[in-house]
Structure 1
Amino acid sequence: MDLTPYVDNLRHELAVAAEAGGDDARALAERLTAPLESAARLTLLNALSAAMGEVTRDLAPGSVDVRLRGLDPEFVVTPPPAPEPFTDTREPVAAPAAPTPPPPPADADDGAVARINFRLPAHLKARAEDAAAAEGLSVNAWLVRAVSTALDGGERAAPPARGKDSGGRGFTGWVR
């Protein structure tokens, strides 16, 4: 995503506002625009990171990471692993009809995300970080996927396909 048009628009708006103040205000605005460019980019990155954090909460166990490529952010979407279909190789046997299961309780998975404190020995944390980095995921996304896989009892899904340019050279995390 190219942030230049947004930064240029901010610079233009500052120049228009300075026009009303005369030559001194215009000169001051011109001196301020260069240092403000990096502050404006950082503020936009903070806003994008916060927005992607909200998207990730709704997408769990998938995730959306904001990576910085040069001066511009790039969004990396990691979809949740697709469950593998069950194939029964046994010969079918007529079974009595199972009763209809009761509806799930009202507090069942409604897509909301809960925050927990998770204490992990340092050696396991390092291994989890290495495994997440090897798959191009954040540690949180990797842990959510691992817990989901463990609870579902299914095979671990293949890691998502990565673009030819990604090559593990990206950065993930939050900017403050």
Structure 2
Amino acid sequence: MDISRHVEELQDQLVESTGLAGGQAAEIARQLSRSLDASLRMVMLEVLSEAAGEITAELAPGSVDVRLRGREPEFIVTPPTPLEAEARVTGAAPASPADYAVDGRATRTTLRLPENLKTKAEAAAAREGMSVNTWLVRAVATALAEQATPTPMPPENSGTRFTGWVR
């Protein structure tokens, strides 16, 4: 997403608003607007991050993350896994961290991982284009959904009995 035109628009509006005060005020406004470039970008990134958080809360178990690439934000949309989507449709198990919270808010947990496991989790999250936190939440939700789904037992007379020798 290119936010440069939005930053430039804000800078132009600042300069225009000082036009009535004279040339010196307009020049000061131009200099100020250039120095505010990084601050304007940071504020816009914070707004986009808040919006992504709100969208994620509504989209769960999918998610939307905002990443900064160079000077521009980039949205990463992660759809739910097939298991999560099925659990959501069938109501088999909660698929979102918000589903486990009494008041709908996520909580903070400190997790200590061996370095090699942390490295593998980071690599898996990167392959799926999501944050490590989102990947870990999905892994826990998937594991809990699998526990909640009973493994079907074959009927007693299923005809799957074999006898003999195997070499």
Q: Normalised by the shorter chain, which TM-score bucket?
A: 0.5 to 0.7
Residue type of the alignment partner of 1:47: V
The answer as to whether partners of 2:3 and 2:41 remain within 8 angstroms in 1 is yes
Aligned AA for 2:141?
S
1:17–1:49 Cα change, 3 Å: same
> Which protein is richer in helix relative to its size?
2
Q: Decide which moves more: 62-71 or 39-48.
A: 62-71
Q: Answer with 1 or 2: which has the greater Rg.
A: 2
Aligned-residue sequence identity (percent) comes to: 46
Higher relative CO (Cα under 8 Å, sequence separation at least 6) belongs to: 1
RMSD over aligned Cα atoms: 2.6
| Counterpart Cα distance in 1 of 2:65 and 2:124 | 17
Give the count of matched residue pairs. 132
Task: Give the corresponding residue for 1:116.
Answer: 108
User: Match for 1:148: what amino acid?
Assistant: A
> Are 1:128 and 2:121 counterparts?
yes
Distance, in Å, in 2 between the alignment partners of 1:118 and 1:128 is 15
Distance 1:32 1:4 in 2: 17
Per the normalisation by structure 1, the TM-score is: 0.63
| Residue identity matched to 1:140 | N
Q: Which residue of 2 aligns with 1:60?
A: 60
**For structure 1, which runs of at least 5 residues remain unmatched after alignment?**
86-107, 155-176
Cα distance in 2 for partners of 1:64, 1:118 equals 23
Contact 2:76 2:130 in 1 (8 A): no
The counterpart of 2:141, out of the listed 133, 138, 148, is 148
Spell out, residue by residue over 1:43-77, the C-alpha distance to the aligned partner (whole angstroms, 9 max, x if none). Answer: 11121112212322333332212123343222110
1:110 CA drift (Å): 8.7
